[in-house]
Structure 1
Amino acid sequence: MLKCAKIAINHKSSLESGVMIPDEQPIDIPPQNAFLVPFLRALSTRHSLTRAEIIAHLLAEFQLPERALNIKQGNLSIILNRVGWCDTHFVKAGMVIKEQHPTDSQHDRFRITPLGLRELSQHADQITVGYLQGFYLGKVIRGAKADDSTSEAERTLYEAFEQLGDDWTIIQGVSWISKDNATVGEIDFLIAHPKHGVLVMEVKGGIIAVQNGNWTSTNLYQKVIIIQDPCIQAERNRRELKKWLALSPKTRQHRYAIFPALAFPDSQFNTDVRPDCPQDIILDIRHLENIEARLLAIFAYWQSRADKDNRHMDGRKAVEALVSLFQVTQSFQPAIVEIFKRENKQIDRLTQAQFKILRQLHRIRRAAIMGGAGTGKTLLAMEKAHHLLTDGFRVLVMCYNRNLQTWLELKLVHEGLIVSTFHSMVEKARQWAGFQDPPMTIQEFDAQAPDLLLDACHVLRQIRPDKLFDAIIIDEAQDFQDTWWIALSDLLKDPQNGIFYVFFDENQRLYARSSTIPMADMPFVLNENCRNTQHIHHAMNAYAQSDILTECVGPEGRAIDIRNTGDPQKDLQRVLHELINEQGVKSDDIIILTPASKERSQWKHLLRLGNFALTWDLNNDVSTWVRVSTIYSYKGLESSVVILTELDKAKDEVRDILIYVGISRAKNHVIVIGDLPPARR
């Protein structure tokens, strides 16, 4: 039978929330995440505070009486424990500095950092334990499943694992999508040791009980919750992980000894649960103070019983390969953003909002991601494609704009990848299927393209299934026609369950066509502009068509510079002289954008403006030539400096959208030649 750990609370009560004290009102103690922002806000109002002063502030904030400090979980005051976790996470995240008192923790002194002030000002509504964990790396590595839903039991183990030595590697929250079916695997903790192997650990909090094969957990509120059988979960995940490691290009060259383990940090087990679930593989409340000894004992138990194909662990390299497989990266490689030359150079990183979506996509096979200009949709699509390619999937990345296709092909190079527009993909698929189509006009091909693709996919499924894809990622999805979507699904090896992600921005819908994103669930929303300066962000938002606006996290930058002497060519010549000759900006960091076509624009190819010439070749590498493009063709791309011209030639029905797209292409500076018309909204 199971011997359960009991939670004692002073004043003859047994609940953390709604604690009843005889003849007194119940006391409700907020959860851990509710303490975080008040903790940080208290520090923002003073130069520094002691722990005792912070506790007093929090009691006042939550209108709690002083006797609430006596409510305990085990031997710990719940409120002191909550404050302790605030201390731990904010200090590790770099948002708070602590000066530790030599003898009395109540006199520890805390001070908020500039990072803490910035996060409190800009992202107070996002601050949770999971959000803070994204700012630091301790012993425990956060995997794709490690998010804000981290349980109290997992947090208890998280702290215990920090005691382990350098030989141990812990990954919290591991998930994957199976290649051969639609199932998803999830593991609470992977515990790896270069000599002993890997433990697949399932964690269950609360007081655990088993009756007639049914498992339950009783939480602090005395609520009994039916839970899945953790023994079955751990063994199933062990088998699936073994198969995945054997298939992944990152890990298949290594041998792994993989064993199941269970953790019940709030309970105590004195006997086996059943023959296939012995207490020898269980970590419970007694083992938290010396967790390394217990982990070694679990390894020893399994190693004496392991099959011959599950006995060997290939050392540190095998562990490193395991980490590289499941750890989500936070920075893009290669660094794809070149900062304006006169400003400090930096590498663009995923914002916390983007990082969270990237983790969530690791567990979801189909999703739509919506975001305004500058929110990193294309970068996020590239990062997701990179992850899938690394895992051995065949991937199709699609976009509407041919120039964006060319740029993506330069940035994403892999034998398992195809980058294409819709019409180019139709032509490729027809060639793979062996069709020889008669000549067609552009209009005829556009009208027949979806059916042509469906026919090609039908043939490929029979004769060349290797040409089909495991995953499709679409950027600029707002410009795709409704008739394209069914045909696109047919390019998947599994049209029903294949991986399918679409990225879109309704503010950049330049083409008057019907397009409904084919996703049943609500889209994920990217709401942080990480490309533009504050001035550019503010200017472009005035022309946005959607009410879903974004927040800019970039530097202040410069106000938009408007030049209008009545002579556009002289104005442009003067601007180019200032930028290139006087300020040292490279010509390839400048783009001249116009709503007019190459034929209608006054900016003719090789037009001379002083020492400079204009070119419509975006791949130009001549230092005295400056690139020109239509706004339509430059959608999805970016440049340090954008010079907007000929806005009077924009069609009325799309003028505001074109200005929005044009301004948003600039990372650092926007110059307008002529008038900048006010937004019509």
Structure 2
Amino acid sequence: MGPKHRPAFVATFHAFGQQWGPAEGDRTDSEFWEERLPAEMAELAGGLPDKQKYDAVIVDEAQDFADSWWTPVLRSLRDEEKGGLFVYSDENQRIFARFGRPPVALVPLVLNHNMRNTRQIHESFGPLAPSRMYSRRGVGPAVRFVSSPPEDALEAADDAVDALLEEGWEPRNVALLTTGHRHPVQVERTDFHDQEGYWRTYWDDDVFYGHVLGCKGLERRAVVLCLNEDGSRDRARERLYVGMSRATDELVVVGDRDRTARGRRGCGEAARARLKACL
């Protein structure tokens, strides 16, 4: 692929605006993210010369886009009427409380085939999906469940990672993801490297430690999913769906089977029974 066929810019929504110079803000301040930042980005994008705008914009994980984020995206196009806008979204992975929709008509194309996970992994999180998908991957090892109360789940998850390494998995193919508090290794790496440096460690030849909130769209061949919360919080079903679907070949779930199935908000009784059986 030649230089002219490569994307001109690939980054997060925040970095998308930083190229135009908007102010920094507190990452924990929702008012900054959903009001002040997009308003400033929209104003700056509207004043850009055409040579700094884009022929097309691709938005991934669009289910987490706020309404206010679409305006700066559209204004960054050279031609808002004819410019290309391509949106990728999975409602099953809506794990933030944002409910924005693009203010333009889009042609929907539904992907109903799973090309990522083995059949065993696909079937394990199937009860969490509201619509039927079909696995196009081959068979693999059975999904393993390690029983542990939430307060002991981190230690049990560490043991599960050690077991995978002893079985011959290379560290660069293994990830440990949490649903509750972050793993101490993730906290340590973030404090040492800062947020941007932490994410660069994803490409290191080492086990990756992350949280399901930050790992949508990512994958590892082997994943240990640590359920270090009871499943009663908002978007718990979506968090579990995201975590279980990050493994392509082997999945180990660590947690309390009864509490996990019982606590999934948004699941009907039949789905909870199926989930418990799969785990």
Does the pair score TM above 0.5?
yes
TM-score (norm: length of structure 2)? 0.78
Tell me if 1:549 matches 2:132. Answer: yes
Match of 1:445 in 2: 32
8 Å CA contact 1:568–1:673 kept in 2: the answer is: yes
Structure 2 distance, partners of 1:653, 1:642, is 23
| 1:570 to 1:531, Cα distance in 2 relative to 1, 3 A | same
Of Structure 1 and Structure 2, the greater strand share is in: 1
Tell me if 1:486 matches 2:68. Answer: no
8 Å CA contact 1:592–1:642 kept in 2: the answer is: yes
**Structure 1 position 530, deviation (Å):** 0.7
Match of 2:179 in 1: 595
Aligned counterpart for 2:122 among listed residues 537, 541, 551: 537
Aligned counterpart for 1:520 among listed residues 105, 109, 115: 105
TM-score (norm: length of structure 1)? 0.34
8 Å CA contact 1:560–1:669 kept in 2: the answer is: yes
Structure 2 distance, partners of 1:484, 1:617, is 23
- Structure 1 counterpart SS, 2:88: strand
| 1:553 to 1:454, Cα distance in 2 relative to 1, 3 A | same
Q: How does 1:577-588 map to 2 (within 5 A)?
A: 577-581=162-166, 583-588=167-172
Structure 1 distance, partners of 2:43, 2:138, is 51
- Size of the aligned set, in residue pairs, is 249
8 Å CA contact 1:618–1:628 kept in 2: the answer is: no
Aligned counterpart for 2:146 among listed residues 556, 563, 567: 563
Structure 1 residue runs of 4 or more that deviate by more than 6 Å after TM superposition:
none
**Structure 1 position 618, deviation (Å):** 5.8
Match of 1:420 in 2: 11
Aligned counterpart for 1:471 among listed residues 56, 64, 71: 56
**Structure 1 position 574, deviation (Å):** 3.6
1:488-515 CA-to-partner distances (Å, cap 9, x unmatched) read 1110111111111111111111111222
1:368-397 CA-to-partner distances (Å, cap 9, x unmatched) read xxxxxxxxxxxxxxxxxx7xx87x47xxxx
| AA in 2 matched with 1:424 | A
| 1:659 to 1:618, Cα distance in 2 relative to 1, 3 A | farther
Q: How does 1:132-143 map to 2 (within 5 A)?
A: none
1:204-262 CA-to-partner distances (Å, cap 9, x unmatched) read xxxxxxxxxxxxxxxxxxxxxxxxxxxxxxxxxxxxxxxxxxxxxxxxxxxxxxxxxxx
Structure 1 distance, partners of 2:108, 2:203, is 40
**Structure 1 position 622, deviation (Å):** 6.8
1:178-202 CA-to-partner distances (Å, cap 9, x unmatched) read xxxxxxxxxxxxxxxxxxxxxxxxx
Structure 2 distance, partners of 1:604, 1:441, is 20
**Structure 1 position 585, deviation (Å):** 0.4
Match of 2:89 in 1: 504
**Structure 1 position 422, deviation (Å):** 1.6
Match of 1:674 in 2: 255
8 Å CA contact 1:596–1:650 kept in 2: the answer is: no
8 Å CA contact 1:617–1:627 kept in 2: the answer is: no
| AA in 1 matched with 2:142 | A
- Structure 1 counterpart SS, 2:201: coil
| 1:541 to 1:487, Cα distance in 2 relative to 1, 3 A | same
**Structure 1 position 578, deviation (Å):** 2.5
| 1:571 to 1:596, Cα distance in 2 relative to 1, 3 A | closer
Aligned counterpart for 1:632 among listed residues 202, 213, 219: 213
Structure number, greater radius of gyration: 1
Let me know the Cα RMSD of the aligned residues: 2.8
Structure 1 distance, partners of 2:254, 2:132, is 27
8 Å CA contact 1:478–1:506 kept in 2: the answer is: yes
Structure 2 distance, partners of 1:525, 1:561, is 31
Match of 1:312 in 2: none
**Structure 1 position 469, deviation (Å):** 0.5
| 1:574 to 1:441, Cα distance in 2 relative to 1, 3 A | closer
Structure 2 distance, partners of 1:604, 1:497, is 43
| AA in 2 matched with 1:520 | A
Structure 2 distance, partners of 1:646, 1:508, is 17
**Structure 1 position 486, deviation (Å):** 2.2
**Structure 1 position 650, deviation (Å):** 4.6
| 1:629 to 1:492, Cα distance in 2 relative to 1, 3 A | same
Structure 2 distance, partners of 1:477, 1:558, is 32
Structure 2 distance, partners of 1:473, 1:621, is 23
**Structure 1 position 518, deviation (Å):** 3.8
**Structure 1 position 472, deviation (Å):** 0.6
| AA in 1 matched with 2:174 | I
Structure 1 distance, partners of 2:107, 2:120, is 31
Percent of matched pairs sharing the same residue: 27
Aligned counterpart for 1:619 among listed residues 197, 201, 221: 201
